[in-house]
Structure 1
Amino acid sequence: MNAHDSNPIDAPPFTIEGEDRPSRWLVTCDHATNRVPPWVNGADLGIAAQDMARHIAWDVGAAGLASALARRLNAPMIRSDFSRLVIDPNRGEDDPTLLMRLYDGTVIPANRRADAAERERRLDRLYRPYHRELARLAAAHPARAICAVHSFTPQLKGRPPRPWLVGILYSHRDERLGPAMVRACRAQGWITGDNEPYSGHLEGDSIDTHALSHGRPNVLVEVRNDLIRDAEGQEQWAGRLAAVLESVLAESGA
């Protein structure tokens, strides 16, 4: 599905799959791609190709996992189609990390030079259309539950290796699904982070905006990206996670 973008020369800033699928679940993928639109500094943020392939530019494997998971859940899925380094759709508009200038040791030259007008242009052509569609899909089911799919790198520069296979993130404002998901994943024998490797509460992020603010049950699933780099790994983890998500939602009564 294409974006209803005000500028017809833009490539769609989002992709939707299975809009008519009947599940309560909506699967989202905020950091699905490392694409830089051509109107952003000539499609070049000024960093090396190997850095654009790293986790700093996108969540490696997350798009394929989100798509496979949505099919298994018979649920719609929406993903962004622009790099988090262009503008981060999982941040509030007033978040200082919305437009990153330094990430995991890499300086982003095109962002260091970006002024307020450039920030607004990226918001208007990428960020806001994505969130409008996410809001529309979230509201399309009266009992919507949201599963946000992300991935994390096995090790940040200069940091110890991360032991988790999966991280389950959730906010203290809504613990209907998160803690039960942690227990269910650990019961499968997976080394599972409880609000690790990141905190599950961030004011203005996608879950805050589209789930917490509307009372919708929600969970954010992080999978270590070396496990989902290819289609085989993505399908394997989609099957594992779908079963756990369905059982946890059913048992929660949410």
Structure 2
Amino acid sequence: MNDSVRLSAAGEDSPFEIVGAARDPSWIVLCDHASNRVPPEVAGGDLGLPPEDMARHIAYDVGARGVAVALADALGAPMVASRFSRLVIDPNRGEDDPTLLMKLYDGSIIPGNREADAAERERRLALYHRPYHDALDRLIGAAVANGVAPRLLSVHSFTPQLRGRPKRPWKIGLLWDRDDRIFRPLYERLLEEPGLTTGDNEPYSGHLQGDTMWRHGTARGLAHVLIEVRNDLIRTEAEQARWGRDLARWATEAMDAEGSDA
């Protein structure tokens, strides 16, 4: 099977996929919100939502998986992605985060989550959230055990505008917290790119304790950054592939210019 679409050994029903597991882990690419899939055992397999809602950003990060795959391919790096909708349970939230299991999102009520109690929350954590993070732990742990400190790149996408809020001017945003070893040189590199409006902790803040970058980057002392691409720029496979290649080039040039050991 083509390396770019190969799933983990757990198969099609796995809550995660790994692309290029045997590649050099000097970089590891992540995609928390890669899929809008609702497993059949969760609220009828659709959470009670119409297809048009499941195609929106509330269910997943539109275009992010294609960018992440292209980025990983260009870097020769492994990529780990979720295979369940963020509405099933959000892998980019800590287990105690109140937004872990959303019941209302950007104007849409989530019927399949309205009656979800503590037991259902725990069931979804056990079936989806924890296995995804365990897969990341294993991949990162194996790299560290072999003397490699991976640089982590997490790929997300954002909408040009949320309901009732001003239009967002950025084409790309870099989210970070305490560790600027990747953010600073990459941000400076992106500022050199003509026509590319880049946000520093925009359109969201990277200061979210318990999220994926905190858990696998900050807590481990590994260099990391979260990349947000505006989703109207990555609707097609060709656009996703171009952005992935460009991000790989920009990240490589930034770190080479920095001469950093991060």
2:3 corresponds to = none
| Structure 2 letter corresponding to 1:253 | D
Q: Aligned-pair distance for 1:107? A: 0.9
Q: Aligned-pair distance for 1:200? A: 0.9
- Gaps spanning 5+ residues in structure 1: where? none
1:240 corresponds to = 246
SS in 2 for 1:121: helix
1:127 corresponds to = 129
Q: Aligned-pair distance for 1:22? A: 1.2
Cα separation, 2, equivalents of 1:70 and 1:139: 19
| Structure 1 letter corresponding to 2:70 | A
Counterpart contact for 1:3–1:129, Cα < 8 Å = no
1:81 corresponds to = 83
Counterpart contact for 1:170–1:201, Cα < 8 Å = yes
| Structure 2 letter corresponding to 1:2 | S
Q: Aligned-pair distance for 1:3? A: 5.8
- Is 1:161 the counterpart of 2:131 in the alignment? no
- Gaps spanning 5+ residues in structure 2: where? 1-6
2:182 corresponds to = 177
Counterpart contact for 1:27–1:66, Cα < 8 Å = yes
1:20 corresponds to = 22
Paired residue total: 249
Counterpart contact for 1:70–1:77, Cα < 8 Å = yes
| Structure 1 letter corresponding to 2:238 | E
Counterpart contact for 2:155–2:226, Cα < 8 Å = yes
Counterpart contact for 1:3–1:13, Cα < 8 Å = no
Q: Aligned-pair distance for 1:178? A: 1.0
- Is 1:62 the counterpart of 2:70 in the alignment? no
Cα separation, 1, equivalents of 2:172 and 2:189: 12
Counterpart contact for 2:185–2:255, Cα < 8 Å = no
| Structure 2 letter corresponding to 1:88 | D
Counterpart contact for 1:33–1:83, Cα < 8 Å = yes
SS in 1 for 2:204: coil
RMSD: 1.4
User: Where has structure 1 moved over 4 Å in runs of 4 or more?
Assistant: none
- The 5-angstrom pairing of residues 142-153 of structure 1 reads 142-153=148-159
| Structure 2 letter corresponding to 1:164 | W
- Is 1:215 the counterpart of 2:215 in the alignment? no
Q: Aligned-pair distance for 1:23? A: 4.2
Counterpart contact for 1:3–1:14, Cα < 8 Å = no
1:39 corresponds to = 41
**Cα deviation digits, residues 32-67 of structure 1 (max 9, x gap):** 010000000110211221111000100000001100
Q: Aligned-pair distance for 1:221? A: 0.5
Of 239, 242, 261, the match for 1:253: 261
Q: Aligned-pair distance for 1:179? A: 2.3
Q: Aligned-pair distance for 1:213? A: 0.5
Scaled by the length of structure 2, what TM-score is found?
Answer: 0.92
Cα separation, 2, equivalents of 1:17 and 1:137: 11
Cα separation, 1, equivalents of 2:53 and 2:91: 20
Of 205, 211, 223, the match for 2:211: 205
Cα separation, 2, equivalents of 1:72 and 1:105: 37
| Structure 2 letter corresponding to 1:206 | T
Q: Aligned-pair distance for 1:99? A: 0.2
Q: Aligned-pair distance for 1:188? A: 0.8
Q: Aligned-pair distance for 1:180? A: 2.1
